[in-house]
Amino acid sequence: MNTLNDPQTPFAVVDRARTDRNIARLRAHLHASGVPLRLHVKTSKSLDVAARVFPGGPGPVTVSTLAEAGYFADGGYTDVLYAVGIDPHKLPRVLALRRRGVDLAVLLDSVAQADAVAKASADAGDPVPALIEIDCDGHRGGIGADDPILPEIGRRLADGGAELRGVLAHAGESYFADTPAARREAARHERDTVVRAAGHLRRAGLPCPVVSVGSTPTAHAEADLAGVTEVRAGNYVFFDLVMAGIGVCDVDDLALSVVVTVIGHRPDRGWILTDGGWTATSRDRGTATQRIDQGYGLVTTLDGRVLPDLIMSGASQEHGTLALRPGSTGVLPELPVGTRVRILPNHACATAAQHRRYHVIGGGAAAGAPVVEAHWARHDGW
């Protein structure tokens, strides 16, 4: 029976009980709203994690790469949205996945992309479903809900041989919404913006069956989703310090961590050195701009108890530096060479991306090092 003392460090750990609790929480919230979830799989990239979200069998998923689409197709997932603006070069691969029986939809926000999708659809005799990306907060891509180009894009899709499937918004700025009121406002604005865009398409005589919203902060924030047909969220299965920092979850909801081993000490500098550098945690410093800067992550004991004020303050390729957070009046804990600790990450998506699989522990209280119950696969690349 392996425990977290056995695999060679560094390695990624998923706490199954916390994952299940996070999944149940959003499930209950969305049940109240009556809108189904389209799980974003880019955080875990794991069929094993997705199976916990969809215990009854494959459900609708969002992917961030066509590699994810292929991997989830292999796992029986046939309702897939590729939610990064389509590069026309990728359309042959989209069509190939569709020929495998995957209802794979793409995303776009320009006439150029709409024409490319329409042409590829017409050439293949397969109307590729496309969502039009609507910008609700200036975060990244998308067009304004009231932009007159919206019906034009819709028409080019519908008339050119593609399938106009609907509209999508992502409230990316909600990652900085650090009060419940701010997140509710972001969720309502995301909803209202995309519903308004859908209205414009319908008034232009165009179909708009799908009205898609989502981000982990907004998905948990508002129950009234009138006019919305699906909610996308992915980070919430693991959560992370950025989400805890804005109050979407608590630190003890964090289901992903990285086990590292102490390999040295610099008492003159207040440092404890580990064998977990940025290859293990990623270079993500998402909490640097939050009220509490967690460095590269919070440190816990191997069984998950947070070590007060101890953070991973620095990272080289294969070295981590642990130190008390600036201003702490605490005492550096005694952690001899060979001691294993866990790092709770700033950004679960980025930290998970550094690993090829997850070591799964049951979670909950138990004496000694947690037992590794299973290994869950992870699929990356493009």
- Name the site residues for its own copies (rule: CB under 8 A): 8-11, 42, 64-66, 84-90, 93, 109-110, 112-113, 116, 138, 140-141, 172, 261, 263-266, 269, 273, 275, 278-280, 282-285, 316-319, 321, 336-338, 349-350, 353, 356, 380-382
Q: How far is the CB of 353 from its own copies (least distance, A)?
A: 6
Which of these, 170, 177, 115, 167, lies nearest to 141 by C-alpha position?
170
**C-beta of 41 vs 324, nearer to its own copies:** 41
**C-beta of 89 vs 291, nearer to its own copies:** 89
Give the CA dihedral 154, 156, 159, 161, nearest 10 degrees: -100
**C-beta of 51 vs 67, nearer to its own copies:** 67
DSSP 305: P
Is 42 exposed, middle or buried (CB count within 10 Å of its CB: 0-12, 13-18, 19+)?
buried
Any idea how long the chain is?
Answer: 382
**C-beta of 90 vs 196, nearer to its own copies:** 90
Is 101 exposed, middle or buried (CB count within 10 Å of its CB: 0-12, 13-18, 19+)?
exposed
**C-beta of 42 vs 156, nearer to its own copies:** 42
| Rounded Cα distance, 193 and 18, in Å | 33
Through-space distance between the first and last CA atoms of the chain, rounded to whole angstroms? 35
Q: How far is the CB of 293 from its own copies (least distance, A)?
A: 15
Give the CA dihedral 202, 208, 214, 218, nearest 10 degrees: 30
Q: How far is the CB of 323 from its own copies (least distance, A)?
A: 12
Q: How far is the CB of 333 from its own copies (least distance, A)?
A: 16
Q: How far is the CB of 56 from its own copies (least distance, A)?
A: 28
**C-beta of 41 vs 225, nearer to its own copies:** 41
Q: How far is the CB of 266 from its own copies (least distance, A)?
A: 7
